[in-house]
A and B are shown apart, each in its own frame.
Chain A
Amino acid sequence: MNVPRPIVAAAILAAALVMPGRAYAQIDFSGVWAPIFHEDQPERVPGPDVGDYAGLPINDAARMKADTWDASILTLPEHQCKPHPSTYGFRGVGNLRIWLDFDDATQKLIKINTQIQWMEQKREIWMDGRPHPPDYAAHTWQGFSTAHWEGPVLVVDTTHLKQGWMRRNGLALSDRATMEERFIRHGDLLTHIFMITDPVYLTEPLVKSNGFRLTANGIVDPYPCESVDEVVREKGVVPSHLPGTNEASEEFAAKHHLSVEGVRGGAATALPEFAKKAAAP
């Protein structure tokens, strides 16, 4: 039968439109992105002071864990090569590379990969509809991520995270934390918004945003790591401060003439009402 070409084309187009399970990338995030540090620069680049918990919806358990944290724990060989977990990595330094994996036959988007330079934080974000692993499966630094599109916005859900951190001064996240993210592209700018929920250390979700700029010739260098004995110490020692003995935890407020109550964190301290109260004579 000789079918007119316009009809064949229309049929192919119609079939393509109704074919189930297609998940074409609506926005292409691939490329190398450089972090923009206008937001929270003192915390993200030089690093936060000990005792700076300002603006975070933490509970008393998180406060105690951070107050008793001793940075010397990072000298233990088992701690030296830990990468940032995905709950923190996008706030760290170093370029971000994003690339896409497609199924050869169907050209369906299977996975979005990300890698951040420091400690080679490699992450897989699955787009093929697979379920999250069972609760007895292993946890990883980057967690298990699946995503879907909400219009032009990529929405990512992450579970199975290892115990991690929300700030590099001992403020911990537990392995029960989960994260929801939004990736939004505006030309050469990428906005990344994340919301962390942790029933162990947060009283309400922690929401932060990060900015990135696309680079034309961006490089993500390798980051090998080999742990070594940095400090001679008795076997089995784990550095920490006994509760109530870490005097450094109060230095931040004094140095910046801030309210001690404010820098100790908590959801209420992030509200305008608290700022008014703290400013009152």
Chain B
Amino acid sequence: MRAFAAGIVVAALLTAAPVRAQTGAAPDFSNIEIHSLHVQGSVWMIVGGPFNAAVSIGNDGVLVVDTMVEPLADKFLAEIRKLAGDKPIRYVINTHFHADHTGGNAKVIPAGQSIIAGNFAAQVGAAAANQANVIAHENTQIRMMSDLKPAPPFIAMPTDTFFTEAKDLYFNGEAVQILHQPSAHTDGDVIVFFRKSDVIVAGDVYINTTFPIVQLDQGGSFQGIIDALNRIVDLTVPAEKQEGGTYVIPGHGHLADEADVVEYRDMNTILRDRFLDAIKKGRTLEQIKASRPVLDYEGRYGATSGFWTTDNFIEAAYRSLSQPAKKTSQVR
């Protein structure tokens, strides 16, 4: 399946090491086409193979959420131009630091324009107007500098970070909430809620291609993923008969609504309860693996090869749930 095969490419781009070092061969991006799907309101989902991004297009210009990978940046920009014409790209928001969500920053950011004037112009310099404003959680900026190897160029870095629970914007006639999800996929995840369009861009705290990717060494946790999914369920409101209403663009996979997120949340909660029961009974990781605790979901979300196998997930979930609960430094 397209998403399954491409998962290897996605996975290679999750971490700092160059793609070639992890896969043995550079992935071929030349055959990947970029497509767009109008979700609702001002928001479009942009899809390039296994990579998802989103744009809001309106009178204020263009707001981009995630920039896919560097090799697709030109095609990605061309798709934005096809949808938005010459409207300026004012903002880029990165949902987290991984290179399959920030890889296109170096090309998308300088293609944008900011409105710089008054005292702010004196502080940052008039040249700052020649690029989009880049918003991310502070931990995303830190990890882009420390975890990505080679480090991205300066132009690719977030310019407008925050360390609190949320950051708000008003753009294209609607409130845009950027909500930090502490210790989920990484420690810098945000979900972006376009309130009037009624669309959430979830980043990798919600994907529907694999079991959740819990990056313990990057500040992630299994319970944090579940917490993030519950937050999305709290924010979404379905239309008639538990369908439509608020739409959710996943970090990877098909466009979703609350019912799809609920299914994924249910699975992860049920599996967490199984893992916790096994840990409480003193089972070792090997004993847990041998008991096939995720058999009922393996055919849908599992893999026996590639970066994120079923075993990888079980190990991450086990380790995450075996650790004492972390205190998160969430600032309101």
Give residues in A with beta carbon < 8 Å to B.
Answer: 59-62, 64-65, 68, 73, 76, 78-83, 119-120, 134-141, 162-163, 174-176, 199-201, 225, 235-238, 240, 242-243
Which of B52, B259, B299 is in CB contact (< 8 Å) with A174?
B299
B274 with A141: CB separation less than 8 A: no
Confirm or deny: B277 has a beta carbon within 8 angstroms of a beta carbon on chain A. yes
Q: Which of A73, A78, A81, A176 lies at the interface centre, i.e. has the most chain B CB atoms within 10 A of its CB?
A: A78
Confirm or deny: B309 has a beta carbon within 8 angstroms of a beta carbon on chain A. no
Q: How far is the CA of A235 from the CA of B231 in the complex (A)?
A: 11
Q: Which residues of B contact A162 (CB under 8 A)?
A: 243, 259-260, 263
Q: How far is the CA of A200 from the CA of B241 in the complex (A)?
A: 25
- In the assembled complex, how far is the CB of residue A160 from the closest CB belonging to chain B, in whole angstroms? 8
Interface string of B238-277 (1 = CB under 8 A from A): 1011110001000001111111101101100110011001
B295 with A60: CB separation less than 8 A: yes
Known: A65-B296, A81-B241, A242-B277. A135 touches B3 (CB 8 A): yes
Q: Which residues of B contact A82 (CB under 8 A)?
A: 241-242, 259
Q: Which residues of A contact B241 (CB under 8 A)?
A: 81-83, 119-120, 141, 225
Known: A78-B262, A242-B273. A61 touches B297 (CB 8 A): yes
Q: Which residues of A contact B298 (CB under 8 A)?
A: 61
Q: How far is the CA of A175 from the CA of B2 in the complex (A)?
A: 15
A81 with B242: CB separation less than 8 A: yes
Q: How far is the CA of A251 from the CA of B309 in the complex (A)?
A: 36
Q: How far is the CA of A82 from the CA of B242 in the complex (A)?
A: 5
Confirm or deny: B226 has a beta carbon within 8 angstroms of a beta carbon on chain A. yes
Which of B47, B227, B233, B255 is in CB contact (< 8 Å) with A78?
B233
Q: How far is the CA of A238 from the CA of B265 in the complex (A)?
A: 9
Q: How far is the CA of A80 from the CA of B240 in the complex (A)?
A: 12
Which of B37, B258, B274, B300 is in CB contact (< 8 Å) with A137?
B37
- In the assembled complex, how far is the CB of residue B6 from the closest CB belonging to chain A, in whole angstroms? 11
How many chain B residues touch A (CB < 8 A): the figure is 43
Q: How far is the CA of A76 from the CA of B247 in the complex (A)?
A: 20
Q: Which residue of A lies closest to B261 (CB)?
A: A78
Known: A73-B266, A236-B230. A136 touches B255 (CB 8 A): yes
Q: Which residue of A lies closest to B247 (CB)?
A: A138
Confirm or deny: B192 has a beta carbon within 8 angstroms of a beta carbon on chain A. no
Q: How far is the CA of A201 from the CA of B296 in the complex (A)?
A: 8
B200-219 residues with Cβ-Cβ distance < 8 A to A are: 208
Q: Given A83-B243, A163-B263, output 9 extra A-B contacts at Cβ < 8 Å.
A: A64-B296, A78-B233, A78-B262, A135-B3, A135-B254, A136-B52, A137-B254, A139-B254, A242-B274
Q: Which residues of A contact B296 (CB under 8 A)?
A: 61-62, 64-65, 68
Q: Which residues of A contact B265 (CB under 8 A)?
A: 238
Confirm or deny: B35 has a beta carbon within 8 angstroms of a beta carbon on chain A. yes
Q: How far is the CA of A238 from the CA of B298 in the complex (A)?
A: 19
Q: How far is the CA of A65 from the CA of B254 in the complex (A)?
A: 23
Which of A81, A134, A236, A243 is in CB contact (< 8 Å) with B226?
A236
Confirm or deny: B45 has a beta carbon within 8 angstroms of a beta carbon on chain A. yes
B23-76 residues with Cβ-Cβ distance < 8 A to A are: 35, 37, 45, 47, 52
Q: How far is the CA of A48 from the CA of B323 in the complex (A)?
A: 42
B230 with A235: CB separation less than 8 A: yes
Query: Can you report 26 A-B residue pairs in the complex whose CB atoms are below 8 A from each other?
Result: A59-B299, A61-B295, A64-B295, A65-B296, A82-B241, A83-B241, A120-B240, A136-B47, A136-B253, A137-B37, A139-B254, A140-B243, A141-B243, A162-B243, A162-B260, A174-B299, A175-B260, A175-B263, A175-B300, A200-B299, A236-B227, A236-B269, A238-B270, A238-B273, A242-B274, A242-B277
Q: Which residues of A contact B269 (CB under 8 A)?
A: 236-238
Q: Which residue of A lies closest to B267 (CB)?
A: A238
Q: How far is the CA of A200 from the CA of B208 in the complex (A)?
A: 14
Q: Which residue of B lies closest to A62 (CB)?
A: B296
A240 with B254: CB separation less than 8 A: no
Confirm or deny: B293 has a beta carbon within 8 angstroms of a beta carbon on chain A. yes
Q: How far is the CA of A120 from the CA of B241 in the complex (A)?
A: 8
- In the assembled complex, how far is the CB of residue B282 from the closest CB belonging to chain A, in whole angstroms? 15
Q: Which residue of B lies closest to A225 (CB)?
A: B241
Q: How far is the CA of A229 from the CA of B291 in the complex (A)?
A: 35
